[in-house]
Each structure stands twice: as structure tokens, then as C-alpha cells.
Amino acid sequence: MNPITEQVELDSGTLSRRGLRDRLIRGFGATALSPVVTALIQLGSVPILLHAWGAARYGDWLLLSAIPTYLTLSDLGFGAASGSDMSMRVGANDRRGALETFQSSWVLVTAVSLAALLLASLSVWWVPWQRWLKLSSVSTPQAATILLVLAAYVVVAQQNGVTESGYQCDGHFAAGAFWSTILRLAEAVVTTAVVVLGGSLLAVALTYLSARCLGTIGYALLMRRKSPWICYGIHHARLHTVRQLAAPAFGFMAFPVGYACSLQGLTVVIGALLGPIAVVSFSTLRTLSRLNLQSIAIFKHALWPELSRAFGAGDISLARRLHRHTCQASVILSVLGGMLLWIFGPFIYRTWIRHEVTFDATCFHLLLLLAVTNSLWDASAVIPMSINGHCRIAVTYAGAAMASLGLAWVLIPHFGAAGAVGALLATDAWMTGLVLRTALRHVHDSVSTFTVALFSVPSFRQFLKPAPEA
């Protein structure tokens, strides 16, 4: 090879690795802000809402705000699927194809989410919400109005999912993640102020909707400024593109089904069997136990677009190294964080809640164990998700999460809230084996070499260097 050509290729590889390193640093920084903001929102707003509303009324809010989460299904998973597809296409230097994916997904998500909102607006008035959810401070018509406003909030928020794919594919993931986090913080600050000023549940719901509308417009305008080649419209929308994305999109749709069952669905089951006070106890304990998982999400979401670009460019070696380091970080953070919360969690909880709700030690310790088992498969799930090869694990997770609700219904009368956690542990045990096998196959890794790498001394400074195929 010509020495000059060889030097140019070496310089190009160095610049490419440097660009990847810089994007990852910015991505880690932006995603690291998210758990901090989440902690501030959860740890700060819960005692304020409990003090202002009381446990019973706050329990009503938790139950009502859980219901519209099911409307996240109305984007049919195309927001997440388009992000992975666009990133792979940009990695393969196919911007025209990426634009087709963006507009096709945007048209479909907008049409379907509006249709879902229309259906909700027609049906929400016919459900006896007060009797079904055992609401103590809200009548059925009031509950229906609050649910409709929150449903509109969810529909508006879904626009951000498609917009985020524009940030993600073009190397601006950090900017998108940062401003999305700032929007959540602004919403929380404004709505908490409304509560302090004596606002009702409906006033809080309307505040959330107004803030999200303004934030969504600004989020879209910033994306267009950073990537002018990505534009909204229908000119590049293609039916065949929608068909190509259909399978992975429906796979992504299965994930929110599972999340809704294990999080909001379980909240509804506990509320139906044990009442609003038990809902507050379980929700606050779970919030504290999951602070540990917020840090793990930093690695998962920051690496997602880079993994898609690596697979699009055919760089399996890089994808394998990124997967190994992500799993290492997840295990270390979940175990160390769980140990710290086991020791200091009771003190933090009592200081945080101020004895408004009794601390359930058994439930909390099981929730900490659940955080560890969840980290074992959640980090690896980003591999099939980054290449839209996640359909099997998504459907399996949704089915297992639904089954866990039935198991929780059986266990809760005998073991209380701890029975609900036991049902979730069964789901995570099943998912760990399935997801790890799938991820290792995609990155051409073996169980033995992965295990050795997982328990070796971390050397994150070296992961961008070329490595032989293993």
C-alpha cells in the first residue's frame, strides 16, 4: 500500500475514534444529567405533594396518572424503531433513506396517536373510575377529565420520540438528551409550584399539558437547526418504509406493554387489593430502590446510537467491546448501589417521607434485589434494540410482565407488597437468559469470553482501540 494512503487511513481512523470518543463523552454527560434530574424530581416532589395533598389524595394522583401511560402504545413503536434505522442508515452514508424513515414514522405516529386520543375522549366518560380505582378525593367525572388531559399530554410527548431519532442519527444525541431532560425538569418545577399554590389534580394535569406543548415545539425547532436536512412533511414518506419498520416497531410497542404492566399495572393491582396508602408505600419504596438503575441507563442510552452506527458501518468488533463494557458498568453499579441503599435506605426513606408512610423493610430489600436482576438483562437489551432485532425478547417480556400481574394478584393477599416484587423477580430471571443469548449472538461473542471480560478489571480507556476479532 502507498505510504501516503496508509497514513491517511490511519489518520482517518484516529479521527473517527476521536469523534466517537467525543460523542460518547458528551452523551454520557447528557444522560448523566437525566438521573440527577429524575432524583431531584422524585425526591423533591414526593414530600411536597404528600404534604400539600395528603397520602390519600396523592394516592389518587398516582393511580390516575398511571392509566394514560397505556397510550404510549399509540405510536406503535415507530419512534424507537426509526431512531435505530436512521442511525444505521447514516452510518452507511444513506441520508436519503434516513429522511424517508423519519417522515414515514412521523406521519404514522401523528395519525395513529390522534386517533387513539379521539377514541379515549369518547370512551373515558363511561368508566366508573371512582369505584374501580377506589378513589377517595375525586369523583368519576373529575377523574375522566383528568385522564383525558393526561392522555393529551402523552400524545404530545410522543412527538418527541420521533424528533429524538433526528438528534440520535446525526451525532447530536447529547443535545437531544440534554434538552429533553431540561424539559422534564421545567415541567416538574412548574407543576410543583401549582400544587404549593393550592392547585387541584386537574390544574396540575393542565399545567403538565401546557408545558409539554411549548417544550415539544422548541425541541423540534432545535433539531431542525442542528440537522437542516431532516425536515417534517409527507413528501419523502413511503409506505414500503413503514412496512419495513413494522416488525421492529411492533417489537418496540411490546416493551411499553411490559413496562406498563410491571410499573403502572402493578400499581393498579396493589391499589385494587390494598388501597391508596399501600400504593404510596410501594411507589415510594420502588422509587428509592430504582435510583440505582438511573445511573445504569446512562450507559444504555448513550451507547444506543453509537451501536446502531457501528452495526450500520459493519464494525462488529466495536459493538462487541461496547457491549462488554456496558454490562460491566451495569453489574458494578447495581451491586454497589444496592449495598449502599441496603445500609442507608431506611434512614433516607424516613427523612424523605417524614414518617408519612411506614417503611416496609422486606419489600424494600426485595426491590433492591430486583434492581440487580433487572440490570443483568436491561443493559444487554440495547444490542438487539440498536439494530431493530429485538422483536422476540420484546414480545417475551410483554407476555412475562402480563403473567406477573396474575402472579402478583395471587401473592399480594398472602405476602402484601412483597408478593408483587416476587412476581417481578420471576419475570427478570426469565428475561436474563433470553436477552444475554440474543445479544451475544449479534456481537459474535461467546459465553466464555464474555464472562471472562465481564469479571476482568475494567479498562474503559482502551475500548476505542482496535482489537482482534474474538
Alpha carbon distance 338, 369 (integer Å): 8
Which residue carries 487511513 as its cell? Answer: 9
pLDDT tens column, 385-417: 888 888 888 889 888 888 988 898 999 888 888
Listed in sequence order, the residues at least 6 apart from 364 whose beta carbon sits closer than 8 Å to its beta carbon are 285, 288, 289, 345, 346, 349
Average pLDDT of the segment spanning 151-175: 88
Which residue carries 404514522 as its cell? Answer: 108
Angle between helix 361-378 and helix 316-353 axes, rounded to 10 deg: 170
Average pLDDT of the segment spanning 155-178: 87
Going from N- to C-terminal start, the domains of the chain cover 25-462
Task: Give the model's confidence band at 441: pLDDT under 50 very low, under 70 low, under 90 confident, else very high.
Answer: very high
Task: Give the model's confidence band at 321: pLDDT under 50 very low, under 70 low, under 90 confident, else very high.
Answer: confident
Q: HSE (CB half, 13 Å, CA atoms) of 150?
A: 24
Q: What is the pLDDT of residue 370?
A: 87
> Distance of alpha carbon 350 from its chain centroid, rounded?
28
Do 227 and 84 touch, CB atoms closer than 8 A? no
Average pLDDT of the segment spanning 42-63: 84
Phi-psi region of 128 (alpha: psi -120 to 50; beta: other; left: phi over 0): beta
Average pLDDT of the segment spanning 259-281: 82
Cell, residue 354:
417524614
Alpha carbon distance 465, 32 (integer Å): 24
Alpha carbon distance 114, 152 (integer Å): 9
Q: Does the pLDDT of residue 464 top 70, yes or no? A: no
pLDDT tens column, 97-108: 899 999 998 988
Listed in sequence order, the residues at least 6 apart from 315 whose beta carbon sits closer than 8 Å to its beta carbon are none
Q: Does the pLDDT of residue 8 top 80, yes or no? A: no
- How many Å from the N-terminal Cα to the C-terminal Cα in the chain? 26
Look up the pTM and report it: 0.69
Listed in sequence order, the residues at least 6 apart from 231 whose beta carbon sits closer than 8 Å to its beta carbon are 99, 103, 224
Nearest-CA neighbor of 307 among 166, 168, 124, 121? 168
Q: Does the pLDDT of residue 247 top 70, yes or no? A: yes
